[in-house]
Structure 1
Amino acid sequence: MDIQVADTLLGSLVDGRYRIRGRVARGGMATVYTATDERLDRTVALKIIHPSQANDAQQRPGGFLDRFTDEAKTIARLTHPNVVAVYDQGTHAGLPYLVMEYVRGRTLRDILVERHRLKPDEALAILEQMLAAIAAAHRAGLVHRDVKPENVLVAEAPSGGTGDLVDSVVKVADFGLARAVEASSDEDAGGQLLATVAYVAPELVTDGHADPRTDVYAAGIVLFEMLTGRVPYDGDRPVDVAWQHVDRDVPLPSTLVPGLPPVLDELVTRATRRDPAARPTDAGSLLTEVQAAHENLGGGTSNDSTTVLRRVTDPTTAIAQPTMVVSAVRPSDTRPSWARLPEQTGQTRTHRRRAAAQSSGFGGRLLEFRDRVMAHPRGGVAAIATVVALVLVVALTGWWFGFGRYTVAPELVAMTKADAESTATKAGLSLTYGTPRYDAKAAKDTVISQDPPSSERIVKGGTITLILSLGPDRFPVPDVVGKTLELAQIDLEAAGLVVVQGPQRYDDSLPAGVVVAVTPKVGAEVSPNSKITVTVSKGRAPLSVPNLVGKSVTEARSMLTQLGLVPVETYKDSDKPKDQVIGQSPADGAGVEKGTEVKLEVSKGPPAVVVPRVVDLPCAAAKQQLEGLGFPVNVQFNPNGTVRYQNPGENAQVPPGTQITIGCL
């Protein structure tokens, strides 16, 4: 019996060196295998392109095949512990392949499927290492463009633990879709969207532009998913999801998972601003903010020894006497060495210096020196002088460190950035700026807080940290017209708005229960917690307006009265016959309620025309002039004579088309 192998590459030897042992994953463009490098006797990951992609690439030079071939060169430029390394490149049976570092672990997607969501300290620990890898790419001039959980590998923790992800090692993979920043506009001139829609930045959707802030946005979405267990947007079609990134702000994670610290909401909001200019400039900048947030949550490392007092009872004693046993316990580090935050070693060095001073016998030598001084005949005077000098030095030093080196911080709050810098310069102080934030009362670039506050002490020449206002946080009213009231309320409240239900009204095109209008209107700029009045359709009105155009006003009145509608007439000049309806509102077929006013435009008839004087003109010329004005002409007596009279007479106002009689002799 013949046995057909599902994957012909399993067990094969690639390039005389790599023995394929098993398949790890199969994607849309390539398949990843585990293989043994028989030359170096190590396990590697081998990524080989699908035959369909290779055939397609050969037909389109410069397409995917070129991007795949460039992947090795791209990653080879990155040397970082959090980046999956590339070892080799080549072709096998006409198919390009890459040989990469084999990471023993799972993807972040696998972990999220299993655990749904992560604890805040785990999410931040993973994000820090992700951003460290992406920041290395940004420093090399590269943009990943496809940051998502599937491209994040979580390896076994260095300590061997598996339950807590804080100590796990994270590596970012698939930089093959990255583009050099300086070439991104030329290479993607067609606006091709390579990123996964759940994590795509708004600027990639609107104009196809990618820069480091695009990766910052995607990292913010990944953080949102780690904290909440879901992505912020979904839809029936990928394009619907993509455009939600353009039209809507990412909701706060705490709205889905109550109890999350506000600092996590701030991180997600900062990273996922729809305006790229409002985000951190690159992954390195976001990493700094994430590390600060992690420290605020108590997720950082500590190097201070913790003294633990343990009470011990001696069971052999007749009366149990508790004894205090003191032991120094140092908390274990929770990060790999290459992912730790900067250590705070000041106290440790202080303790070491103090111990060294004690071990050197400094106190004994000081006593010995005092004895020799006092043994001298004038030793007493010298000792007093020395003591006085020391007292003066100590006093001056104490005054300097306690008072002299300080000045008072000026009041900078409510100043513009330029005025604050000018004031600080005059005071001999420096300024630094913290993360700006929105403020409903302060204009943009106005100081809303300072550290240290005004009137508090600050070292001369020191630095004051300012927080500037981004201005009121305003955003457009979401388009909820056409949605049911329940869905519209969810969208508006997710945007931080307060929903107020207004009076219902009939609508010919929208069914009952559907939003027909909002006030302020869709797209209007509003601030958070603004009230949005929602008008809901009652469905089509019970009465239909008949077609009245062309009917006499008397007939139109009768028809409307019979239906219980109120005619309102307006007369205007028209070439239509007098008292004929020439317009109506609402239009025929519109649904209305009983008692609704129907406006009728009624013709006053054609405007009167002034008859010119033709007396004393040759008969032929008079006839031509009158006919040119639209009057039919009745010529009496001699057609070749001169007009002696006309009827109607000159300057008479008559309806258009009135016959004019002229008598010629």
Structure 2
Amino acid sequence: MDIQVADTLLGSLIDGRYRIRGRVARGGMATVYTATDERLERTVALKIIHPSQAQGAQGRMAGFLARFTDEAKTIARLTHPNVVAVYDQGTHGGLPYLVMEYVRGRTLREILAERRRLNPGEALAILEQMLAAIAAAHRAGLVHRDVKPENVLVAEAPSGGSGNLVDSVVKVADFGLARAVEASADDDSGSQLMATVAYVAPELVTDGRADPRTDVYSAGIVLFEMLTGRVPYDGDRPVDVAWQHVDRDVPAPSTLVPGLPPVLDDLVIRATRRDPGARPTDAGALQAEVQVVRDDLGNANANTALLRQVAQPTMVVASVRPTDRPSWARLPDQPEPRTAGARPHRRRAAPPPSSPLGRFQALRDRVMADPRGRRAFAAAVVVLGLVAAIGGWWFGVGRYTDAPQLVSMPRAEAEAVAAQRGFTLAFGTPRYDEKAAKDQVVGQEPAAAARMVKGGTITLILSLGPERYEVPDVVGKTFDLAKADLERVNLQVAKGPDRYDESLPAGTVVAVDPKVGTQVKPGDKITLLVSKGRAPLSVPNLVGKNINEARSELQRLGLNAVEQYQDSDKPKDQVIEQDPPNETGVEKGAEIKLKVSKGPPAVLVPQVMGLPCVEAQQRLQAAQLAPVVQLNPNGTVGFQNPPEGAQVPPGSQVTIACF
């Protein structure tokens, strides 16, 4: 059993004027009710914003109401037969609402749910009126931002016909509503994607930017759905659907519905180009293309869109002329229909003098009969011509300028140039650059010298500087884990020679080359040295032993001695240093380097013959020799041994005989 929650607004009186009679629909941003305007005694539609859209962060409500009011005033000035008119706005219970024209009909979403897809004639007829409404908004400086079947109302045709949608009246709703809600969200949580993801344009996903070409893309997706009965992309999550618009081209409708004319494929593909610059510039430009396609395909009586399918699987539609459309659906520059078979004539009968046209012609004749009237008329024509020329120059050329060159500038300089030229800056995702310093501009959209509206937005891409990483500390990890850590930061891994280690088990990293903490760039090679575990042999302590004893001990262990002799104050042939040190683990056959003493360096025996015995003793002692005195210690040296110039170890005895 379904459980329905009572709507507390039903039957209530809003602003002392609008009596709510029933609920029509509930959407993502608002609920729509039918209401009676008790002051003017007419039925209206009342749309009230959900609390979740109007409220959020503390203190955001006032800003939202101000933006909503500004948008409502702008929309209210947008007057067009295919736009749902806005009559009033206000707040109820702190929530903003709009009072709009009540359209007796169904949404395009409801029609598609019932019929799945439309024939080409009906789809183009609905799209043409949609684009007429959106084009009026674009001319007024508005972007809809949320074009979708839910915002397209299809009312009964003025002729009262039913079943075929070619003569139906189409009206577009919710101009500016998405922008009002999104602008409020910007203050609190950054730019949000308000558009329905099935119809969102790529630039709204990547940059959050919207212009008339954004609505053109969404209208192209709506045409695709009307022709095929489905949207081009689906996915488990809205973000997955949104990014498919960025990454993929919309397929041709005929790939899903064989036999659709190629011109319809071309129309959809042109409107849904991922590059905004490749689409029609606005809804008016796309509407002109739709009218050409309708005239090419044709529709003989505006009631039957599909005549036949010939042997080749191509849908053919009878020709239609603009003048065959009902009067309410024609654009101002389309002529009145002519009765079939009527012959053209050069002159029409004069209108009755009492008619408005007759009175206008009489006034014109009086003005043109007076020379001053003719001059005033000519001046008026000149002024109107100047206004038209200036207006044409402004909308065609004057409001555009060239985008400045900001690439290669530091961010602060780019901001100063943009502010001086009156542009607004936005920033895309920064990227690493080997040649550009951090915060230097490496990309811009639009590009330098591209045509853009004065005061428009330029999106800059800033540099993160050269991409560098520190070698992570992977010592002590297994080789596989260390390799994964290094490859995660885009480094290449090589395995160096394994070696024994006293503290780390086999298979773990014992050293890294370059060392841990070294700055490297992506793709650099890191060599890992891996432990083989503790060595099977331990080096003995050989320092202080005689070289012969040391050799014997090493041979017994299966190790090789590598000897190097050097002067030392240690006794000759004594081991004074070893490498590796004692207790180091090594494998059999390893070389042990030994430094061996050659003994103290020899000294020269000085010449003391003929010197007084006391002086001779002093000279020998100064030469690190030990004098031995014989006979008369107070005499003169007459004999010495070893003789003068002999080389002897320090401390050797020298015998002198004194007479």
The TM-score with structure 2 as length reference comes to 0.49
Question: Which protein is bigger by CA-based radius of gyration?
Answer: 2
The TM-score with structure 1 as length reference comes to 0.49
